[in-house]
Structure 1
Amino acid sequence: MNPSSAHDFDFLHGRWQVTHRRLKDRLCHCNDWDTFAGLCNSWPVLGGAGNVDDNLLHLPAGSYRAATLRTHDASTGLWSIWWLDGRHPGRLDVPVVGRFHHGVGIFHADDVLAGRPIRVRFRWSETGTPTPLWEQAFSADGGSTWETNWTMRFERTMPPADGAH
């Protein structure tokens, strides 16, 4: 097993154009997707033991900003990932926690959607390619079945400048 490390997200440092694809409604057998553009700028923090990205999402209903904070715990090999939605600046989402294995990152959390408990899964793949992929899925049955409801395909517009933003 290749251990997770503080360098797992180094591929994400820099500036990106993002193509978002998001289900209009979640966990209700919806097959209607919105596709929209976005931008992402990512850089290391905490001496490389974490990273932050600033995101601009151009939803069909209007644009908004969001931020992601990721930290790596060297003692457990686990990453924690928090999302802060600029439309709700006083609320930080519960962190998804997980690790990379052979270049694929899987992260989980327990959360609530419309008053009912759900499992959340983030999946990072194709991280060694010019177009990494992020996917979000929800499960209403404790993880037995999953509905992918959001994908983000990244295309680099500017490489990192010496690890800084």
Structure 2
Amino acid sequence: MRKDNKTCFMLKRTFLFIAAALVITSCGKKDISTCPDKVCTEEFATITVSFIDKDGKPATLSSFSAVNKRTGDTLGHQKQYDLYPENVYPVADDGDLDKLSSEGDIINIKAVDSVTKKVKNASLVISGGACACHIKKLSGPDTIQFD
């Protein structure tokens, strides 16, 4: 009889171990099947906007911001202006992919001309999302002119 009790105990212990392992491995599992299969390129997409003065010459800004209206997140790598030509500013890039919806978000741009101190506001619609390969501009200007 003692052997049967030991066997029963071992079966119960094995069953509890398997049940616990199933519970632990099922928690926190991310379902990656929600994204369709796709082939993405290795390029790094960036959406920029350029600013010109009333005469059509490059404008220099004293401040610039690009904010997702839906989330309030500031987009783009605002500190890396020196990587772009004088009057070109990054609005968003693939580093912002998860901050954007697949349907597209309104990105509010605010810029201040360093010479005239005039403020210019504009909006772009940019899509992204967890399943997207790259961000994409759906609408909005490429160039913004100060009056």
Return the TM-score normalized by structure 1: 0.26
Higher strand residue share: 1
Return the TM-score normalized by structure 2: 0.29
